[in-house]
Chains A and B, each alone.
Chain A
Amino acid sequence: GAGVSQSPRYKVAKRGQDVALRCDPISGHVSLFWYQQALGQGPEFLTYFQNEAQLDKSGLPSDRFFAERPEGSVSTLKIQRTQQEDSAVYLCASTSSIRGANTEAFFGQGTRLTVV
């Protein structure tokens, strides 16, 4: 595709509901990142994939957060039993470098999650 695509753009979830956020990276991009961005803050690192391997998940805030990229392309970030503090914009980025952050990262428009 032309760029990184994220869906849905907006998601309203009731507290306790499970949600799944999808990221379609640029075709052929090896590295994929997920970030969480609270209002007025910078993006906070959540997790990083190199192809299908999840090399770093140190930023996931709790075991309610789970990410996968089973075929090394599309990735899904799942949040179980959502809580109000999960409300944020979730950004996905991909790069062509096998050493993820060594080159320009291309970002999707993000998914704005609101937990009510």
Chain B
Amino acid sequence: SQQGEEDPQALSIQEGENATMNCSYKTSINNLQWYRQNSGRGLVHLILIRSNEREKHSGRLRVTLDTSKKSSSLLITASRAADTASYFCATDARDTDKLIFGTGTRLQVFP
């Protein structure tokens, strides 16, 4: 079974707009990661945030983590058509060594 659920399931925006995706998870974690998957390709790591961190930035990406609500958000600013992909959150549950993925958000950025 999957640990996380992303919201929304699908998101369509215009180039230049910001895209926000949310992730909720079920159990205590050591860290939370976000990955991108282009159609028919493998997953690419975007960013990792540890359980004692609340916010992290990487280029146009901003991730927040609220462990009290067991939720995270990924913000992509000034989106580009090349950002079109599926985005997944993944958690490293405290009692296991497994990396468990959520259900994903499909982002479509129109030129």
B residues within 8 A CB of A48?
Answer: 97-98
Contact of A44 among B2, B35, B43 (CB under 8 A): B2
Quick check: B43 and A107 within 8 Å, CB to CB?
yes
Tell me if B42 and A42 are in contact (CB < 8 A).
no
Are A105 and B99 in contact, with the CB atoms below 8 A? yes
Task: Check A102–B92 contact: CB distance below 8 A.
Answer: yes
Task: Tell me the bound Cα distance from A35 to B104 in angstroms.
Answer: 15
Q: B30 contacts the other chain (Cβ, under 8 Å)?
A: yes
Given B30, B41, B48, B102, which contacts A104 in the complex, CB threshold below 8 Å?
A: B48
**A48–B93 alpha-carbon span in the complex (Å):** 14
**A48-B98, A102-B92 known; A42 vs B30 contact (CB < 8 Å):** no
| Interface: A91 (CB within 8 A) | yes
- Chain B interface, >50% SS class: strand
Residues of B within 8 Å of A72, CB to CB, are none
Number of interface residues of A (CB under 8 A): 28
* B4, B99, B104 pick with most chain A CB within 10 angstroms: B99
Do the beta carbons of B97 and A104 come within 8 Å of each other? no
Shortest Cβ distance from B93 into A: residue: A101
Query: Among residues 10 to 47 in chain B, which have CB atoms less than 8 Å away from a CB atom of chain A?
Result: 30-31, 33, 35, 41-45
Contact in complex: A91, B42 (CB < 8 Å): yes
Decide: A45 near B99, CB < 8 A? Known: A101-B92, A102-B30. Answer: yes
Which A residues fall within an 8 A CB radius of B? 4, 31, 33, 35, 41-45, 48, 50, 55-56, 59, 91, 93, 99-110
Q: List 12 A-B contacts (CB under 8 A).
A: A43-B43, A45-B99, A91-B42, A101-B30, A101-B31, A101-B99, A102-B97, A103-B48, A104-B45, A105-B99, A107-B35, A110-B41
